[in-house]
Amino acid sequence: MIRKIRLFTPGPTPLLPAAQFAMAAADIHHRTAEFRALYQRVLDQLKTFVGTKNDVLLLASSGTGAMEAAVSNLTSPGDRVLVLSAGKFGERWVALANAFGCAVDVVNVPYGQTFSLDEVRKALKIETRAVFMQATESSTGVRHDVEGVARLLKKADSGALLVVDAITGLGTTHFEVDGWGVDVIIGGSQKAVMIPPGLAYLGVSNRAWEAMEISLNPRYYFDLRKERKNAHKGESSYTPAIALIAALGAALDYIASQAGGDLAAGRDALIDNAEKCAAMTRAAVEAMGLKLFAPAAPAAAATAVLPPAGVDSGVIVKELKNRFGAVITNGQGEMKGQIFRVAHIGLFDYMDTIAIVGALEQIAISTLKIPDFEFGQALAAAQRVFAEVVSPTKPELAVSAR
Ligand SMILES: *Cc1c(COP(=O)(O)O)cnc(C)c1O
């Protein structure tokens, strides 16, 4: 058979065709009224997408650039900060905070798990200036409890800022950014918003803006105060990633179009869509006799699965690519060979999910030779989950997840 390449990866994710066209047509200069109108519109749309009244800024960088900006703009050397780490991206917070001279406390939990709020409470100190966490740890497929941590900080009357890497959380998890008191929330272009890598965006609270006035760490390209001042005039501090910004506008229009033009409702539909695809996938792999890597708190961004005992997960990754053109991801770093990850973030739907489950069934039988597994068992499990979740008699499902 011919191979049609499809990404099932948690970033970069499949590109939205309308966004690709917008990118190709973005032959404009950035110091013009035309660009300023585009920029202002996209920044406004981003506020709605993120779900905040705070300023949202765009940076020409991958997601890690915004993570670095959060650390460099909010902290001073010697500041005590707390990182909640459960995977590769949690470890990135630790490395960044160390690079900027912070005194770093870490709540570390094993890969595949999430921390308990008790552990967080114990690790929080009076002098903790900021708490850094992921909303979803893409390297392990875990969802963390952002709301729980935000509540805990309020209850403890902590002055610590809450900084959330929601790079795969946005568009896959319902957040009340302002209501919960998230101070910085970070997203990246190559994830839920279905455009290529190269843009990071972040919502910043008033408390965080105030903290920036007294923080002493060096910053230049990622000086958020300067960026904000320029953004209010419809400009970016340096040459913006014009084509990506045009693409982002088209993508946010598409998301709005999923709910009759209402972007917030479209975002909720996108989140519910990811939740559905993830639930279908979990049921399917379990019906295959495979184990989930993060069964207790699975993220909707991606599902991490353990291969059968004795099998290198790379075999499954390779077979899916070679036989079906389906690109999934292996484990990262020392997790390589131990798990495989199938993404649901962004432009994935029912059809994609059924297709990947069907291809996995082929591999389960021909390559993995899973005993007693027959064609259709995983598909049937996915079908049943789909039928349950979208049942129009249960609209409260979508609401209660919020
Ligand atoms: C993709 C991702 C990042 C950002 O990585 P970049 O390669 O810098 O874009 C950060 N955190 C999480 C949880 C991610 O999934």
Q: Domains of the chain by range and CATH?
A: 6-12+261-389 (3.90.1150.10), 17-256 (3.40.640.10)
DSSP conformational letter for 356: H
Distance (Å) from CA 61 to ligand 1 centroid: 11
Q: Tens place of pLDDT for every residue, the chain, 402 residues?
A: 899 999 999 999 999 999 999 999 999 999 999 999 999 999 999 999 999 999 999 999 999 999 999 999 999 999 999 999 999 999 999 999 999 999 999 999 999 999 999 999 999 999 999 999 999 999 999 999 999 999 999 999 999 999 999 999 999 999 999 999 999 999 999 999 999 999 999 999 999 999 999 999 999 999 999 999 999 999 999 999 999 999 999 999 999 999 999 999 999 999 999 999 999 999 999 999 999 999 999 999 999 999 999 999 999 999 999 999 999 999 999 999 999 999 999 999 999 999 999 999 999 999 999 999 999 999 999 999 999 955 554 444 344 333
**Helix runs in 17-87, H state only:** 17-24, 33-50, 63-74
Distance between Cα 79 and ligand 1 center (Å): 24
For β-strands 291-292 and 329-330, DSSP reports them as: unpaired
Ligand 1 neighbourhood includes 138 CB (under 6 angstroms): yes
Mutation test of ligand 1: which of 71, 89, 94, 146 has the most ligand atoms closer than 8 Å to its C-beta?
89
167, 185, 329, best to mutate for ligand 1 pocket (most atoms within 8 Å of CB): 167
Percentages (nearest 5) of helix, strand, coil residues in the chain: 45, 15, 40
Question: Between the CA atoms of 207, 212, 214 and 219, what dihedral angle is there, to the nearest 10 degrees?
Answer: 170
Task: Find where tokens 């409702």 sit.
Answer: 265
| Distance between Cα 169 and ligand 1 center (Å) | 10
End-to-end Cα distance, the chain:
42
Helix (H, G, I), strand (E, B) or coil at 85: strand
- Could you identify the atom of ligand 1 that is nearest to the CA of residue 135? 13
Q: What are phi and psi of 366, to 5 degrees?
A: -80, -35
Atom of ligand 1 nearest to the CA of 134: 13
Ligand 1 geometric centre to CA of 92 (Å): 9
Ligand 1 close to Cβ of residue 180 (< 6 A): no
Mutate to test the pocket of ligand 1, among 7, 58, 61, 62 (most ligand atoms within 8 A of CB): 62
Is the preceding peptide bond at 12 cis, omega within 30 degrees of 0? yes
Q: How many CB atoms lie within 10 A of CB 259?
A: 15
